[in-house]
Structure 1
Amino acid sequence: MSRHYSKSATGKVRPGFLVACIALLAAAVWIGLAVRAGRADAADTTYHKWSLIAIEETKHKYPKAALVDYSHIGRTQLEGGLSEEKFKLWLRQADREFGVYVTVRFSDAEDRLVSVDMRETPR
């Protein structure tokens, strides 16, 4: 289940690609600042792969929305060798701003995506 955001046939960069690049840059800056400040716990990047999937799938479901911000809520260990990473993404579409909770479920041993669930919230 992989969607890629890149240049369109006309050579123009698609908005989803720009949003993903901005989100990655913001995450890299935040991690760099946390490391410089000596906060190793804030620099935990074990969820990085899953955050990219959460952003990608959200952009697929809401293609006209702009990503305003996102946060990592946490990881939950499940039975059967599965884990979940939870994120909250803030989106803006036209005059509406809203949140989307994204849960990414994956197999620990195989590092394989199992499912992505989304739930929209007004705040």
Structure 2
Amino acid sequence: MSQRYPKAITGTARAGVLLALLAIAVWTALAVRAEQADAADTTYHKWSLIAIEETKHKYPQASLVDYLHIGRTQLEGGLSEEKFKLWLRQADREFGVFVTVRFNDAEDRLISVAMSETPR
């Protein structure tokens, strides 16, 4: 003869199982999003280092306060551009610099680096 649990216990156990499944689903979704973010970061990482290095050459007395990856633009002929905004501090002045890194996608080869200070 099988023994049955009271309905209240069965309902509580069922809610616990559902809560555990929900927690597993959320944990999995967060892990997938983190992995996708890491993959996205690596696509422009090399070009961000070049942007920072070239900015250091142009502004050797400035220190880097912050930087922002603006985005990638696909150009014709297999070329792409990564755009960044770097915020610098030099003496008593803080200012922004837009840096555009142009490169050949297929060859992963640098073509040019262009910079311009922000108006404010």
Structure 2: gaps (5+ residues): 1-29
How far off its partner does 1:96 sit? 0.3
Matched AA of 2:58: K
Q: Aligned letter for 2:117?
A: E
Q: What pairs with 1:58-77 in structure 2 (closer than 5 Å)?
A: 58-77=55-74
Q: 1:114 aligns with which of 80, 90, 111?
A: 111
CA shift, 1:122, in A, is 3.9
Alignment of 1:94-113 (within 5 A): 94-113=91-110
1:70-89 deviation line (CA, Å, top 9, x unaligned): 01000000000000000000
Match in the other structure for 2:48: 51
Aligned to 1:92: 89
How many percent of aligned residue pairs carry the same amino acid?
81
Runs of 4+ in 1 over 4 A off after TM superposition: none
Aligned to 2:77: 80
- C-alpha distance in 2 between matches for 1:104 and 1:67: 18
CA drift of 1:36 comes to 6.1
| CA distance in 2 between partners of 1:94 and 1:37 (Å) | 43
Structure with the largest fraction of helix: 2
Q: State the TM-score, normalizing by the size of structure 1.
A: 0.67
Q: CA deviation at 1:41?
A: 4.7
The RMSD of aligned alpha carbons is: 1.8
SS in 1 for 2:43: coil
- Range with greater deviation from structure 2 (37-46 or 62-71): 37-46
TM-score (norm 2): 0.69
1:50-85 CA distance string (max 9 Å, x none) = 000000000000000000000100000000000000
Aligned length: 89
Seen in structure 2, the aligned counterparts of structure 1 residues 38 and 65 have a Cα distance that, compared at 3 Å, is same
Residues in 2 aligned to 1:91 and 1:37: alpha-carbon distance in whole angstroms: 34
